[in-house]
């Protein structure tokens, strides 16, 4: 039997994903837009989850979302893709099986 594993990250695109913030590269307060890309950073016993925001001139700001404690009983997870998300309005299940 073949098993297909599909991981979805569903985002509400109606939410405002822009924040006004000082950009040290631009030298002024500019709007930063959420790229919907997430990254994790480990630091000692903590794992940080960041949202990657970009200003209009493509400068990056990592907004800290959550902090997790590391633990010894690890579970295998599907690696989060570090690429631009795609917008899909229709999913044909028949094509996936
Ligand atoms: Zn900037």
Percent of the chain whose pLDDT exceeds 70 = 80
Residue 49 alpha carbon to ligand 1 centre in Å: 22
* Beta bridge partner(s), residue 43: 46
Residue 41 alpha carbon to ligand 1 centre in Å: 23
What are the sequence ranges of the domains in the chain? Answer: 16-71
Specify the higher pLDDT residue, 78 or 40.
Answer: 40
Residue 57 alpha carbon to ligand 1 centre in Å: 5
Contacts for 41 with CB less than 8 Å, ≥ 6 apart: 47, 48, 50
Q: Give pLDDT tens digits for 46-80.
A: 899 999 999 999 999 999 998 888 776 766 666 66
Lowest mean pLDDT among 4-13, 38-47, 48-57: 4-13
Rounded mean pLDDT of the chain?
83
Residue 35 alpha carbon to ligand 1 centre in Å: 14
- CA–CA gap between residue 46 and residue 73 (Å, rounded): 15
């Amino acid at each position: 039997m073949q098993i297909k594993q599909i991981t979805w990250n569903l985002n509400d695109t109606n939410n405002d994903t822009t924040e006004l913030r000082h950009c040290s590269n631009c030298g002024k307060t500019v709007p930063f837009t959420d790229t919907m890309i997430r990254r994790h950073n480990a630091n000692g016993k903590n794992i940080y989850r960041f949202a990657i925001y970009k200003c209009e001139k493509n400068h990056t700001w990592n907004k800290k979302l959550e902090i997790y404690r590391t633990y010894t009983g690890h579970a295998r997870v599907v690696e989060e893709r570090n690429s631009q998300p795609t917008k899909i309005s229709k999913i044909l299940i028949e094509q996936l099986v």
